[in-house]
Structure 1
């Protein structure tokens, strides 16, 4: 953008239009996204989902920063920017699937760990292209109704 002012205006407009529920005082969109992450993970990788649940780990516990920041909490910045280009082009709702993709990329290590929260506290450095590739592939595995809910969760006040 030509100026910081224009960049801020565009970012504010993006948030207002694409994910207003993510910036409500209650963070309603974020919490809905976390619930959807659990539901999607249960479908795309029931074994990983069951293992995390056996350790009392829900998305609410391990994925809150990633969902809240649209993965901006996972460096490096150049990869975050690539991922954000994808989210801006195809929809903020796909962030939930991008977080699942990151989980799947570290799946073996998580499944071998007796304390997976240690691993999940800080995700490995973001690699945008593999994450995007996996996220796009996951779309086809979701039931239509669940995907529709995923699409609406950042902005629709009623499901």
Structure 2
């Protein structure tokens, strides 16, 4: 049995599948073991493939466990879909057209119409008030559709916004706070890079807003971004800010060498500077979190409005 299969077997056991038994007994203990497995070993390379026990992908099943998604009311979702275009339809349509449009694996599995349908249903679920939809929602909803059946993706996405990032989807209040916190951490951990940005009056709102508002899901490649979202779902959405910071610090030397012109752009941030999820995670755990004082880390931890972690 290869590493991928062994790792898959571990996840199936913790999810109560594979041999059909509740392997570890207590649900909370299994959940903690699941989180640890995500952090230290990651998910199998095949985790995003469809068809896991007839319920979408293994990764999708893991995400539902982390979000506490249980019974899915398909009829309720269909009723929302039947309401048709919402008051935010045009904005949704325009954003969906751009969402992961160059990622062939995603576009082959998730038709644009499906994402439009889910987001319109979400607006209807929230009362169909114009302005309920904000731009980052398309990028945040898309991975759920990539990994699980549509009604399950809808419920998971709902819970995700409500429980994990409520401050991010209300006028971007938490996102702006996250940008400010990234800058404070940058000043602490790399004063030279911080001063370099000051020379150009360059703030995180100018170069990191898409990264932070999407929890890094706008960063290519998609498979890497999904791996970092695994960890955020397990240990907190606030880690998105620290992962964005990690990419900056890893690229610090390269950025500092740029002279006479703007040292960084939004596009460079969205390309992730070429660093893998494993590099970013390792750097964040070993070089960033240990250097942030308790008060600052607490502010980072609380800025998304996340509940129950």
Higher relative contact order (CA 8 A, sep 6+): 1
1:34 is matched with which residue: 179, 186, 190? 179
Which TM-score applies when normalising by structure 2? 0.48
Which TM-score applies when normalising by structure 1? 0.90
Q: Is the 8 A contact 2:193 2:252 kept in 1?
A: yes
Which sections of structure 2, spanning at least 5 residues, go unmatched? 1-54, 57-148
Distance 1:117 1:66 in 2: 17
1:118-137 equivalent positions in 2, closer than 5 A: 118-123=264-269, 124-137=273-286
Q: Is the 8 A contact 1:76 1:125 kept in 2?
A: no
Once the two structures are superposed, residues 44-77 of structure 1 have per-residue CA deviations (whole angstroms, 9 ceiling, x without a partner) of: 1111111111121111111111001111111111
* Deviation at residue 117 of structure 1 after TM alignment: 4.4
Higher radius of gyration, 1 or 2: 2
Q: State whether structure 2 residue 148 is matched by structure 1 residue 5.
A: no
Which sections of structure 1, spanning at least 5 residues, go unmatched? none
Q: Which runs of 4+ in 1 moved over 2 A?
A: 114-126
Distance 1:120 1:47 in 2: 20
RMSD, aligned CA: 1.6
Once the two structures are superposed, residues 138-158 of structure 1 have per-residue CA deviations (whole angstroms, 9 ceiling, x without a partner) of: 1111111110011100017xx
* Deviation at residue 11 of structure 1 after TM alignment: 2.0
Q: State whether structure 2 residue 166 is matched by structure 1 residue 20.
A: yes
Change (3 A) 1:144 1:85: same
* Deviation at residue 27 of structure 1 after TM alignment: 0.5
1:8-157 equivalent positions in 2, closer than 5 A: 8-24=154-170, 26-114=171-259, 115-123=261-269, 124-137=273-286, 138-155=288-305
